[in-house]
Every structure is written in structure tokens, then in C-alpha cells.
Amino acid sequence: MEIENIIKVMNFHSLLRVDFARKNAEKYFEYEKELNNFADNILNNRNLILDKKMLKFDSSKKPLHIYIANDLGFCGSFNTNVNEIAKKEVDTDKIIIGKKILKNKKNVLLQMSKDEYKENVKKIEDLLFDSIKNSKHGEIKLIYNHYHNISNIELVEKTLLPLKQKEEKDRQKYKEDFAIEGDINEILINIIVLYLTYEIRIAEENSYASENVMRQMITKESLKKIKEIKEEKKLEERKEKKAKNFKKTIENVIKMKNNKTDS
């Protein structure tokens, strides 16, 4: 079967990539936590908000959402779930990483394949910088398939901005003071863009791990189904052969009886 050979190749490539992708995603778990804590401490700091009159986000403005899908087949609902959210969010500006989702270009500020992502990082940074500096969006969110572990891949909608303050017990850190030289908003915009860029990078790596885990599982299941179909076909062929042989035997017996009667 030609299709079986193709799926075997796909499964082999996914198997080669899955361990590397999994380890890479797990390596970023700690980075993501530290990055989030850093941004939280800056963006929710009481002194920066009140004393320095730091920029704020206007919730009445439309959101900017970043969708991460994939470019390959055999990934089940990987693209479907992300695409459904993107289609429903009509009045949302969009950045799309993944060429197979959202054919309607309305409100799409930038779209690229996953392979093109790295060469488009600067364009993404420029869009984010413009968005924050000119207060164009009230929210920035990531939508992607998040790898937790090999048996748990979850569609995630992660709000990057604005960051909600944590529980009361954690709020003491928001009172830390900072010595600032220069325009606080210009400095802060660059810090925020750096934070957002790294969050997108982490999510893209995580999405890549999810994609390969899912692809490997589905191709493995497909090969199992093909094997079952082949076994069923062999069983049917054996039954047909057995039936033909039985029919031939009966015909021979009848023929022998007729010959005896004639003599």
C-alpha cells in the first residue's frame, strides 16, 4: 500500500522530532514562569502606575490576538480548534502563525507559515510596539495548543496584556520602587515588547512540541488501522479461497458420482 509507506515516513519523522520538541518545550516552562513574574512585577507595580504615570490599557479598544497553528497534515483537531476561535472573533485584530487557518483576511495584520516565523519576528515586534505606543488595543492574547506532557495537550487562550494582579498575599512586591532615568513609557514599551516577543517564542516552541506529539500519535494509530484492514482483507481472502476450494470439492464429488452412475 502506497499510503502505508507515506504514513510510515511521516510517523518516523514525527518520532525523530517528538523527543527533541518535548525536551525543548519543557526547558521553556521555567523561562515562561520567570518571564511572567518579571512582567507582572513591572506592569502591576503601584509606584510605576501612580508616581510615574505609566501607560495603561484601555479595555474599550478592540483586542489583538495571536493564533499559532501548524502547516502540516495528520494533526487531528490541531488547526480546527484554533481556526474556530479565529473565525468567531470577527472584531479582533489578528497575527497568524500557521498557513492553514483563516482564509478570510479581514483584520489580519500579519500572517505567516511556521517556517517563516523566525524571519518575521521583527515585523511582529514592530506591530506590538505600534499597538502599545498608540494604545490601539485593549488586550493582547495568545491562542495555541499547549504541551503539558505527552498525554496532555490543551487548547489555551493566554492573556499577555493586561496582566491581572495576583492574590493579596503576593501584592507586597508591587510596592517595590525603581530608579528611572529617561522616558519611563518609552523604556517600558521596549520591555513589554521584549516580554511579548519571548512569550510568543515560548508558545511557538510549545506548539511545535504539541504538533509533533499529536502527529506521532495519529500516524501511529493510522498505521494500526491500516494493519487491521490488511488483516481483515487477508481473512476475507482466506474465506473466499476456502469457499472456492469447498465448492470445487463438492463439484468433483458430484462429478465422480455421475461418472459411476453412467457406467
Q: Could you write out the three-class secondary structure of 24-55? A: HHHHHHHHHHHHHHHHHHHHCCHHHHHCCCCC
- With respect to residue 260, please indicate whether it lies within any of the assigned structural domains: no
pLDDT for 151 equals 75
Burial 206-238 (b: 16+ CB within 10 A, else e): bbbbbbbbbbbbbbeebeeeeeeeeeeeeeeee
The 10 Å Cβ neighbour count of residue 136 is 14
- With respect to residue 234, please indicate whether it lies within any of the assigned structural domains: no
Q: Which domain holds residue 138?
A: 2-218
- With respect to residue 241, please indicate whether it lies within any of the assigned structural domains: no
Instruction: Fill in the DSSP letter of residue 173.
Output: G
- With respect to residue 92, please indicate whether it lies within any of the assigned structural domains: yes
Mapped onto helix, strand or coil, the DSSP state of residue 64 is: strand
Q: What is the DSSP string of 121-165?
A: HHHHHHHHHHHHHTT--S-EEEEEEEEEETTEEEEEEEEEESPPP
Our count of domains for the chain comes to: 1
**Distance of alpha carbon 246 from alpha carbon 254, whole angstroms:** 12
> Considering Cα of 173, then 177, then 182, then 184, what sign does the dihedral take?
positive
Domain at 120, CATH number? 3.40.1380.10
| Local confidence pLDDT in tens for the 263 residues of the chain | 466 665 555 555 565 566 777 777 677 777 777 777 777 777 777 666 555 555 667 888 999 999 998 877 656 577 888 889 999 998 999 999 988 787 777 899 999 988 899 899 999 999 999 998 888 999 999 999 888 876 788 899 999 888 776 655 555 666 666 666 666 677 778 888 888 988 898 888 888 888 877 777 666 666 667 677 777 788 788 888 887 877 787 777 777 777 766 65
Residue entry with cell 469457499: 243
- With respect to residue 133, please indicate whether it lies within any of the assigned structural domains: yes
Q: What is the DSSP string of 182-214?
A: S-HHHHHHHHHHHHHHHHHHHHHHHHHHHHHHH
- With respect to residue 114, please indicate whether it lies within any of the assigned structural domains: yes
- With respect to residue 139, please indicate whether it lies within any of the assigned structural domains: yes
Determine whether 196 is exposed, middle or buried from the number of CB atoms within 10 Å of its CB (0-12, 13-18, 19+): buried
pLDDT for 191 equals 81
Q: Which of 90, 124, 93 is nearest to 204 (CA)?
A: 124
- With respect to residue 72, please indicate whether it lies within any of the assigned structural domains: yes
